[in-house]
Structure 1
Amino acid sequence: MKDVEILLGGPMPPLVMDGVATSFTAHRPWEAADPAAYLAGIGPRIRGLATSSSHGRIDDAYLAHLPRLEIIASYGVGYDSIDVAAAARRGIVVTNTPDVLTDEVADLALGLLLATVRQLPQADRFLRSGRWLEKSFPLTATLRERKVGILGLGRIGKAIARRCEAFGLPIAYHGRHRQDDLPYAFYGTPAELAAAVDVLMVVTPGGTGTRHLVDASVLQALGPTGILINVSRGSVVDEAALIRALRDGTILSAGLDVFEDEPRVPSELVEMEHVVLLPHVGSGSVHTRNAMGQLVVDNLAAWFSGKGPLTPVPETPWAGRTA
């Protein structure tokens, strides 16, 4: 398949770049003296694109440079940086990397919840600063007698729910549809869910349809003992409203792995002692990132060998899809 030319949208893990280069003719425009001119020159020959959300928006204007493009293989489960509708109009298949990161992100979500409720980073800083020599660390909130609301009960949301059940925590959820085969309470709006729970776990996809889904009204409903955990996309939460809610005591605390303008995190959040902040590391283990990278390569290899994509996103225009 070396006659197939693949564009790498930006720097990617070595497993992806090496895997693409081994099987295809790979192009790295960011290494060129004039990336725009380089892309203009190779664009008409490109048949596959390997990309990730960190590479920027893949929209109709971008796709216009790639008239022969057949497939976009995205590194990550979220694909809100890709205009899938624009790709569909051009007959381009879009794939992502689901399942292989589900357990890793779910593990991180529970770790972030525990760290936020029991103030584990704060306790670590307390000890390291020598303050334990002066007094005991203050008592914290608890998971006991809390109910967890999951906003977005997809693959990762269900994995989080199973872990919460192991902790003995009641589960409720909101999503686009009620899932009648599940034993959890369903609420029709995010605000109704927030009002019924003590922890709001945000796991919904990003994109225009979920932008600021968690707004001031949802945070008000969550209440002064409520905790917000976000492991989805920063765009889902109105960050300015969240800062006000944390500052004013509208909610108790928050654990955040994602932000609206990554890697730039508002100084107001950084300066808050009662929140836990992580640098978008939900899937950030060597094992899982390797599995994600291999799936990007495998999707390209499957497509160009005539087998069809392995993990097409639901909106993709592929007649042979079975899921």
Structure 2
Amino acid sequence: MTSKKRVFVAGHKGMVGSAIVRQLKQRADIELVLKSRHELDLTSQAGVDAFFAAESIDEVYLAAAKVGGIHANNVFPADFIYQNLAIQCNVIQSAHKHDVQRLLFLGSSCIYPKLAQQPMAESALLTGTLEPTNEPYAIAKIAGIKLCESYNRQFGRDYRSVMPTNLYGENDNFHPENSHVIPALMRRFHEAKLAGAAEVVVWGSGTPMREFLHVDDMAAASVYVMELGADSYQANTQPMLSHINVGTGEDCTIREMATTMAKVVGFEGSIVFDATKPDGAPRKLMNVSRLKDLGWNYKIGLEAGLAITYDWFLSNQDQFRK
């Protein structure tokens, strides 16, 4: 009998990590190794090293990270840069030390310059100034990419990086103040529907363009990139440019997304845009031609993805009543 591949998913309770676990649980050839933050503190170098020494891990999906919205990034910049750097350094170094040959690091589209040419290609990395509000987090994610590249160059490892666009879906954060735009609006439209409200106010003019990817597509892409043969993967990357964008390659206005959200939730009132509130960047779209060339494309459209997410929200809304 062939032994199962032991795969460690770091951050398995988060939105992306849990989606990767759902993907891998369907595989008969994989044995998942999962540890909660109470069982394994990834910021502890000694603890992470002891874990890898004991567990004989074959592959790692590094989805663990400290994440938050604009407010949290502004108030706790030291926490965001330190904790993310610590997690990445500990996991990648211990994986190498204990002879894990393949690892997938999950980053963020915020690695790209604030004024990067649209759509943002992988080559835009380090070509301009970052968005100030989340610079510490972005710097940590860039360091994660460079850690993977450096272990590949010096030790011949096969450590890969994927950079997702804006994600949403099951296990998202639906906090009324600290969540991203899709979960925040979904909760707002839902509560307005229950209250019989005449309107829902959306911050900004509604004109900025944004790209959204359902987290199950992100998980599918992550597994796909991880399992590409080394020759196929390396032929599609360049030296010192080993990360790959993951997204739909399509975007819509915030107004279009809000209109679709209202339809999915069943809110029949008016949608009002408060143009006195900031819009943010006019457009943030990923160039995903590299991933398409590797043979992967997204499957879940925005309306279908919002419907899936809303069904999950309805089934789990007790945890959001805060």
Please indicate, yes or no, whether the TM-score normalized by the shorter chain is above 0.5: no
TM-score band, normalised by the shorter chain? 0.3 to 0.5
| Higher normalized helix content (fraction of residues) | 2
TM-score (norm 2): 0.36
- Larger Rg belongs to: 1
